[in-house]
Amino acid sequence: MFIVFAATAYAESREVRVAATAEDPFIEKQTYLKQIHANEAWDIATANNNMVIAIVDTGVDLEHPDLKPNLVTGANLVNPSLPPQDDNGHGTNVAGVVAAVGNNDRGVAGILWRAKMMPIKALEMDGSGGEAKLGEGIRYAVDHGAKIVVLSLGLNKYSNYMNEIVRYAEEKDVLLVAATGNEGNRVKYPAAYPTVLAVGGMTAERKADPRSNSGPEIDLVAPWDVFTTARGGSYEYKDGTSMAAPQVAAVAALVWGKYPAMKAYQIRQLLRQTADDLGAPGWDSSTGYGMLRADRAMKEMPLADMYEPNNRKDQAKAISVSKMISASFSGGSDQDWFYFDAPYNGTVNLDFDTGGLPVIVQHTDANGNFASVAAKPGQPASVQVVKGRSYVQLQLDNRNLKQEVPYKLTTSFDIYRDQFEDNDHQYSATVLPSRSQTIVGTFHQMNDQDWFELPIEQSGSLRIRVSTDTARIDPVLFVQKKGEKAYVVDDNEDGVEESLLLPEVFPGSYYIRVSNVKEYPFPVTGEYTLTIEYDAKLIDPNEPNNRSYQATTVSLNTPYYGLIDKPDDVDWFQFRIQENNMVQLDLTEIPDGVEMNMILYDGSMKPISNTSGMKAAKLQQRLQAGTYYAKLSANQTFDRSLYQFMVNAKPLTGNFTDIRGHWAQNSILGLSDKQIINGYDDYTFRPNRTITRAEATVILSRALKLSQQKQIAYTDLSPNHWAYADIARAAQSGIIDGYPDRTFAPDQPVSRMEMISMIARSLNKTGNLQGDVPFTDVDNGYWGTGILKQMKAEGWIAGYADGTFRPDQQATRAEFVSMLAKMIP
């Protein structure tokens, strides 16, 4: 119950409330209620008797006095002739968190004091069960009127069957809330499906519990430890994500009671919106959107787009690569920026539900590579990603649309195809070098398995291990010497390493197959590591090469292996390049405890440079055409593992390795010769990378030889910024300015329209030209139309072959330099 006080202050009269408080005897033991601020939520509502909450679990203690008044008829799917009586205790624990009767002078209080809980027994007495019963339990709940289904259980494996069950629930507007799991690994299914609200566990210190499973699919966290109902009418302490998930389900029921017209996806989004952000701002893979806050969920207004403001790159909001979210375009001119952290190289698919309106996706990956792709109805946009942070700019294709467009975005991730494919059969096995090595691979497609052939040239011992970074892989190891008996190793459970030791191996071909357990044929987001430890006295394949005149001739970009197996041993290599190149010499796989030295000589045997290192050593040098020599030595001998030596060479065009044959090559070379532009430290220009406001301003400042500068005071640009002086000069000349919020956004990509505007200001073009609009994707209402008319009429710009100009598409470094080259004689 809650107490209402009336208070008067000056001429204002208002009602003041204290938070409602349950008076059950064990309420002080329920510390998690304070963490999620349940008391403040109870000040608004303590019950929801208008919808059914299904507990798919081990059943519920049907006679527990703190639960019985809140139970409705359920089902026993394990033994349909019996009621769903709990013979394990887990389901009773879950039910108490959701809706133990509140303020009844008995035991504990659930987050819902009064509710309709439907017990569905889908698990055996020992708490185990298969996905068939789990799916049957979800479908039963949906078909018998449940609006929320609590799933404090999980499986490591994806299945088409369970995916269809989850989709069925979403179509019926039923909210599924599931625990992520307690193994300190990847989020379990069904929590991992895009439309399931995935709940992890949080410690009393407001951090993700290290045992709580995490990853791209997590939505929220809730307290890990609870005090709740137990079998036999008793009470006990329990912990785990199994106890966190029902907290979220119960708060969802409170919220849905307040907003009965909302859909399941809107309830999910409101709980994300009102979560208490933990750690770095925004979504992250360990705590999702943050800690469940019952009070905020009940008190804050639902937002059509919780990610706003995100109209610029520096305002981009974090999202997952594997979840459904909802947001809104305020109109055709609205841009929504998001970023996501790809866990591996691969592909991110973006599936939009906009009511049939196409969306333009502009993507920049972690290496700065840019791509633009359209997502049409029924056709998700797919973007290639590298491991790390990618940015996407979203905008409706129809930029002239004036009304608000809510949308749902479902992301999914496909891991990369590993470098050893296609090796799915023994006859196509990848042949490995005869040595110890570590290989990282993936199961990127249905029924994927990887075959390797290891030629053994000398007798020795062989140990093979396969491990994985995810419990979604249950590795199976197959090893067979050609023509002999095979070994199959599958001794351990999901995610646990398998290994095989062969104390004595003889020359011949050994076949190794790595696969996931047979019952799981689906692609997996995760990597396995195959470690081969071959112990044999090795022979240097390049000997004799102890003198410069004996130097081994190497082919560029090809690995060579060797030993330093005698006290006076040195290894000489020679290579030839035909033109100016950026050359890199890599010496890797140096044995533990050994330091190797590498000296580079020109054709007259004059030393050019040298380096040394343990584990690895690298030399990078700009070299002219000619013959060169490398001399390798070590501080001690080794004969049980081979070093790797490789010479990589990239031809230089001007000062760059990546512009030869590029359409903007001449423009880049011209401005580089004038010292207006330069590249990166690795001799690349990266012409297809998007250009930022800071980069564009610096280039213009150099090109125009600006010298005077004014005082500038942007909140996101300090005087120590590398581009500060040039930005100040460009601001003085009126070429560029900041935003109304007093920011400059130096790292924001420049759009094609912004690029043209900057060039036009530099040329003193005012954009007052009248006449027809020159491009099909702009109209007279567009802010830059006048500039486009004048620049097109005077021959400065041309659009695309389809008649468009694509003004909001991000400009690349090559495009900017090409425009600038026209301006600079």
**Beta partners for 582?**
622, 650
Cβ–Cβ < 8 Å for 8, 221: no
- Do the first three CATH levels of 430-527 and 548-651 match, i.e. the same topology? yes
Residue range 211-247, pLDDT digits in tens = 999 999 999 999 999 999 999 999 999 999 999 999 9
* Residue in the structure block whose two tokens are 């486009």: 788
Q: What are phi and psi of 629, to 5 degrees?
A: -130, 150
Closest CA to 91 of 164, 149, 23: 149
Query: How far apart, in Å, do the first and last CA atoms of the chain sit?
Result: 81
SS3 290: coil
Residue range 462-493, pLDDT digits in tens = 999 999 999 999 999 999 999 899 999 999 99
Does 436 qualify as catalytic in the annotation?
A: no
**Residue 280 pLDDT grade (very low, low, confident, very high; cuts 50, 70, 90):** confident
Give kind and range of the element (H or E) at residue 411: strand 405-415
* CATH class, range 548-651: mainly beta
Does 90 qualify as catalytic in the annotation?
A: yes
- Given a cut of 50, whether residue 5 has pLDDT beyond it is no
| Whole-number pLDDT of residue 536 | 82
Which listed residue (90, 214, 365, 701) is catalytic?
Answer: 90
Residue range 107-132, pLDDT digits in tens = 999 999 999 999 999 998 887 888 89
Give Cα 218 distance to the centre of its chain. 12
| Whole-number pLDDT of residue 279 | 79
Sign of CA dihedral 272, 277, 281, 284: negative
Q: What are phi and psi of 618, to 5 degrees?
A: -140, 140
Closest CA to 771 of 780, 763, 760: 780
**Residue 6 pLDDT grade (very low, low, confident, very high; cuts 50, 70, 90):** very low
Tokens encoding 261: 């017209």
Nearest-5° angle of CA 221, CA 224, CA 225?
150
Residue range 8-62, pLDDT digits in tens = 232 222 333 445 788 899 999 999 999 999 999 999 999 999 999 999 999 999 9
Q: Give CA–CA dist 625/574, Å, rounded.
A: 13
Give kind and range of the element (H or E) at residue 531: strand 527-535
Q: Which CATH architecture has domain 313-415?
A: Sandwich (2.60)
Question: How long a stretch of residues is the chain?
Answer: 825
Go through 368-398 and write b for each residue having 16 or more CB atoms within 10 A of its CB, e for each that does not: ebbeebebeeeebbbbebbeeebbbbbbbee
Residue range 73-106, pLDDT digits in tens = 999 999 999 999 999 999 999 999 999 999 999 9
SS3 168: helix
Q: Give CA–CA dist 440/239, Å, rounded.
A: 36
Which listed residue (212, 214, 242, 285) is catalytic?
Answer: 242
Cβ–Cβ < 8 Å for 204, 225: yes
Mean pLDDT of the chain: 92
Angle of the 241-258 helix axis to the 264-273 helix axis, nearest 10: 110
Cβ–Cβ < 8 Å for 152, 123: no
What is the torsion angle, in degrees rounded to the nearest 10, for the CA atoms of residue 765, residue 767, residue 773 and residue 775? 40
Neighbours of 666 (CB within 10 A): 12
On whether the pTM is more than 0.75, the answer is: yes
Q: Is the peptide bond before 544 cis (omega within 30 degrees of 0)?
A: yes
Residue range 657-703, pLDDT digits in tens = 999 999 999 999 999 999 999 889 888 999 999 999 999 999 999 99
Stretch 363-379: mean pLDDT: 93
Question: Residue 771 to residues 164, 549, 787, 793: CA-CA distances in angstroms?
Answer: 56, 75, 12, 10
Does 667 qualify as catalytic in the annotation?
A: no
Closest CA to 517 of 500, 493, 487: 493
Stretch 305-325: mean pLDDT: 95
| Whole-number pLDDT of residue 79 | 94
| Whole-number pLDDT of residue 781 | 87
Closest CA to 618 of 636, 600, 593, 638: 600
SS3 822: helix
> What percent of the chain lies above the pLDDT cut of 70?
98
Which listed residue (43, 57, 284, 448) is catalytic?
Answer: 57
| Whole-number pLDDT of residue 13 | 28
Tokens encoding 17: 């409330």
Residue range 152-209, pLDDT digits in tens = 988 898 999 999 999 999 999 999 999 999 999 999 999 999 999 999 999 999 999 9
Break the chain into its structural domains and give their ranges.
22-299, 313-415, 430-527, 548-651, 665-823
**Residue 824 pLDDT grade (very low, low, confident, very high; cuts 50, 70, 90):** confident
Closest CA to 702 of 726, 732, 720, 737: 726
CATH topology of domain 22-299: Rossmann fold (3.40.50)
Residue range 717-776, pLDDT digits in tens = 999 999 999 999 999 988 888 899 999 999 999 999 999 999 999 888 888 777 888 999
> What percent of the chain lies above the pLDDT cut of 90?
83
Cβ–Cβ < 8 Å for 117, 55: yes
Strands 486-489 and 475-481, by their bridges, are antiparallel
Nearest-5° angle of CA 559, CA 563, CA 565?
175
| Whole-number pLDDT of residue 98 | 98
| Whole-number pLDDT of residue 500 | 97
* CATH class, range 430-527: mainly beta
Half-sphere exposure of 316 toward its Cβ, with a 13 Å CA cutoff?
Answer: 22
